[in-house]
Amino acid sequence: MTNIFPFLYRLCPPLVVHMVCMSLGYMVADSLLMVMFVPLRDWKMVLHHTAAIWGSLNVIGRPVGMRFGNTWFLMELSTPFVHMRLILHTLGYRRSLLYKVNGVAMLVVFFLCRITTILVFVDVIPHMKTGELYKVGSGVLINMFVLTPIFYVMNIFWFIKICKGAYRVLYSPKMNTE
C-alpha cells in the first residue's frame, strides 16, 4: 500500500515520536493553563489544542500518515514569532523596529509553514477515489478529513488577522507618543 500511497508510511521514526511527545506535553500544559487562568481562555485555542491533542495521540497510537503529521509540526515553526510578538506587545514595544521585523517574519513564516501546506492536503484528493485510503483506520481518517481541515480553516482565519495587523503596524500613520 505504501507504493500506491506514498504519504501512508507504516513506521514511526524516533524523531517523529519525540516531536509528537514534545508537542503533546506543550498542548496539555497550555490547556491546563487555560483551565486555571480565565484570561487565557479562547474558544479558538481550546479547539486548536483539543484537535492537536487528539491528533498527537492518534499519531502515537497508530503511526500512519506521517506526511500529514509532519505538516502539523511544520505549522508550529511560526509559533516562536507569535510568542515573541505577544511578549513585545506586553512589554510595550509595539512601535519598535524589533516588533515590526518580528511581525514581518511571523507573516512570512506563517504563510510558508501554515498556508502553503494546504497543498499537501489537496494532494490526497486523487487517492480518495480508489478505496484503499479508507483501509487505514477511523482515527487516521479523522485526523486527515476532520482535524486537518479544522487546522487549515483556523490558519486561514489567523493569517487574515496577521495580514490586517501587519498592514496596520507598517502603514498606519505615526502616532506621537508624548
In a domain, 5, yes or no: no
Is position 140 within any domain? yes
Taking each helix axis from N to C terminus, what angle separates 43-61 and 148-171, rounded to the nearest 10 degrees? 140
In a domain, 178, yes or no: no
Q: Exposed, middle or buried by CB within 10 Å (0-12, 13-18, 19+), for 161?
A: exposed
Q: Is position 88 within any domain?
A: yes
- The whole-angstrom separation of Cα 82 and Cα 98 is 13
Structural domain total, the chain: 1
Give residue 64's pLDDT: 62
- Does the pLDDT at position 159 exceed 80? yes
pTM listed for this prediction? 0.73
Helix (H, G, I), strand (E, B) or coil at 141: helix
Q: Is residue 70 part of a domain?
A: yes
Measure the CA–CA gap between 49 and 167, rounded to whole angstroms. Answer: 28
In a domain, 111, yes or no: yes
89: pLDDT strictly greater than 50: yes
Range of 163's domain?
A: 14-171
Look at residue 6 and tell me if it is in a domain: no
Q: Mean pLDDT across the stretch 136-143?
A: 77
Q: How confident is the model at residue 91 (pLDDT cuts 50, 70, 90)?
A: very high
- Mean of pLDDT values over 132-154: 80
The mean pLDDT of 32-46, rounded to a whole number, is: 86
* Ranges 16-20, 21-25, 45-49, 107-111, most confident: 107-111
